[in-house]
Chain A
Amino acid sequence: MAPLIEVHDLRFRYPLAKAPILDGLSLVIGEGERVAILAPNAAGKTTLARWLAGHLPDGALKAESGFVAMEGRNWSEWDVAERAAAIQFVGQVPSQQLSGCAFTVYEEIAFGPCNLALPEAEVRRRVDEAMVVCNLAHLANRDPFTLSGGEQQRLSIAAALAMHPRVLVLDEPTSNLDPESRDDLIAQIDKLPGGLTIIVLEVALRPSLALANRFLLLDGGRIVADGTAGEVLNDPRCIEALGMTSIAAAMAGLRDAGAWPGDKALPLTLAEARASLGVQHARG
């Protein structure tokens, strides 16, 4: 898989902070990958997300060393329009993702493509397409600020998709949502076009398991584990930092009671647990 985004030995410290939040972090993400970067709170997820999305460096916020590049070009070499068409970022707080310049959902999604000065027909095509993908067509004429948190987050993703980016960076996209909205959003993200590179930064294991096929653990300002869900989520460092999935925790209880082999990896999802136990899922 060809490398798309490369982070080279990135060391970054906020002004007045004693220690760097990112400390020699290196990472390569390939085109079309679905990557979950897991980390506990205050480990630098949002900072890394902003670097990956090209929002940093910004003014006085500069790296002490290293850089982030897309297709071999440092972000500082990209102009605003070029970068916006290549990568999109969706943050944690839904209402903060709105442009503040659109009176309807339709206009909010069209805001970015209009800024790129695309032909009107192309703007309409992109907006319609994004509304279908994110299930927003019935809300097209609503005021974005009156939507629920889940709907606003779907709107943010639709607005990002309308830019036709190659990479979508999602910083804890479900953290401010109720369980129903969270499951709904995960299902929507899961349906996004296959060629799109998705980077999800999460503290919660459940959404990451549903969205990614490559998992990285961010700890102490560096990537300390990189692999499949089974490799990373059963890693003691990951368990120490994030805890276990509820299924793995239950199976660990069985293991401690002697009902599960101690040398066998713990299942992470219900489907894996069923398969490991040889239980058939009753349907209908």
Chain B
Amino acid sequence: MASLTKKKSDKPSLLYTAGESFLHRANPLTSLCLLLWMLSAAIVLPTEGTATLTLAAIAVALVTGVGKKALKRLLITMVPIGIALTVVHGLLIDRQDFAALGPVQISASGLDYGLRVFMRVACMLMATLLFVTTTHPADMLKALDQRGVPAGIGYLIASPLLLIEPFTERARGIRDAQRVRGLNLTGSWKARAAALPVLLVPLITLALSDLDHRASVLSGRAFRAKPHRTVINAPPDSTLQIWVRRLLLLLAVLQLGLPLLWRL
């Protein structure tokens, strides 16, 4: 099957990167199940496990050609979280094992707990990045349509991704128009806070007006008029992928469920 990603529109708001890797070619539902399995694993695995899984996800990202974009996002997000966790759990929260390290008191158990949380979040983030950089939302919608998922759910996924850019552009336009009329956005925080309603009110009013127009357009194009939609360029699927999905979902449920049963 030819790649589904060749004729994709590139939107700056999407993290998706076109490619030919096995993840790009996988059915989006398979990628989604892989994401769910990784998320559930990140919840139950110890620090060594989440670190291994994160490294494995980074390796896969590099192999699939999305490594640069995914790693950049991972670092931008995790560095501040890492610093915050170190300060809060290593230095600030009062624990039994505080030890002097130069001028500061540091807790080994606090650092250990901070590292566990850090690796858990990093693992979840890396799994999500792997999914969004290799799965185009349009393919996800088609896969959902193919499975008979109500069109309204697909619309909830697609419309924020599509409308974020026009919305940002409009916000910029309103800001520029208000500045031309004398609105000061370079003064103190108090002045900036006072300017917010002047920016937000027209933005919200226009967004509400857009809703009405969009509803008319959707109704005019027979949206949700039939129980199922036709799917064009449907993502490829196979018996193997169906079984892989079942296995991943089963593992995800067992991973989360068995520890709970064990505790009971």
Contacts and interface: CB of A to CB of B under 8 A. Distances in A.
Contact of B136 (A80, A103, A115, A159): A103
Greatest chain A CB density within 10 A among B162, B220, B223 is at B220
A201 B245 CA distance: 54
Nearest to A159: B221
A89 interface: yes
B100 interface: no
Contacts of A112: 220-222
B158 A100 contact: yes
A81 B221 CA distance: 8
Nearest to B154: A101
Most chain-B CB neighbours within 10 Å: which of A95, A96, A100? Answer: A100
- Centre residue among A55, A85, A111, A145 by max chain B CB count within 10 A: A145
B229 interface: yes
Contacts of A124: 232
Nearest to A80: B225
B222 A123 contact: no
B222 A80 contact: yes
A181 to B, nearest CB: 19
Interface centre among A50, A89, A117 (most CB of B within 10 A): A117
Contacts of A85: 222
Given A103-B162, A104-B8, A115-B221, A89 B229 contact: no
Consensus secondary structure, chain B interface: helix
A49 B11 CA distance: 34
Contacts of A173: none
Contacts of A79: 225
Contacts of A143: 9-11
B226 A81 contact: yes
A81 B226 CA distance: 8
B230 interface: yes
A98 interface: yes
Contact residues on B (Cβ < 8 Å of other chain), bracket: 35 or more
Nearest to B156: A101
A98 B151 CA distance: 17
B214 A110 contact: no
The CB with the most chain A CB atoms within 10 A, among B141, B154, B159, B223, is that of B223
Contact of B221 (A84, A93, A123, A145): A84
Nearest to A85: B222
Nearest to A140: B7
B210 interface: yes
B4 to A, nearest CB: 12
Contacts of B256: none
Interface string B135-174: 0111001000000000100110011001101100000000
A190 interface: no
Contacts of B141: 101
A213 B226 CA distance: 37
Given A89-B216, A98-B217, A120 B226 contact: no
A145 B222 contact: no
A142 interface: yes
A81 B223 CA distance: 8
A96 B222 contact: no
Given A80-B222, A115-B226, A163-B222, A99 B217 contact: yes
A81 B231 CA distance: 17
Nearest to A110: B232
A107 interface: yes
B213 A99 contact: no
Interface in B1-41: 7-11
Contacts of B221: 84, 99, 111-112, 115, 159, 163
B219 interface: yes
A101 B229 CA distance: 13
B225 A116 contact: yes
A246 to B, nearest CB: 32
A157 interface: no
B159 A100 contact: yes
B75 to A, nearest CB: 28
Interface in B92-151: 136-138, 141, 151
Contact of A117 (B7, B159, B229): B229
Contact of B166 (A95, A99, A114, A142): A95
Contact of A116 (B138, B151, B162, B222): B222
Nearest to A50: B216
Nearest to B145: A114
B218 interface: yes
A113 B225 CA distance: 11
Given A93-B213, A114-B229, 13 more contacts: A84-B222, A89-B220, A95-B166, A97-B213, A99-B218, A100-B155, A101-B154, A101-B155, A104-B8, A104-B138, A115-B226, A117-B226, A140-B7
11 contacts: A55-B219, A81-B226, A84-B225, A99-B223, A102-B162, A103-B162, A104-B138, A115-B223, A120-B230, A141-B7, A141-B8
4 nearest A-B residue pairs (beta carbon): A81-B225, A112-B221, A84-B222, A143-B9
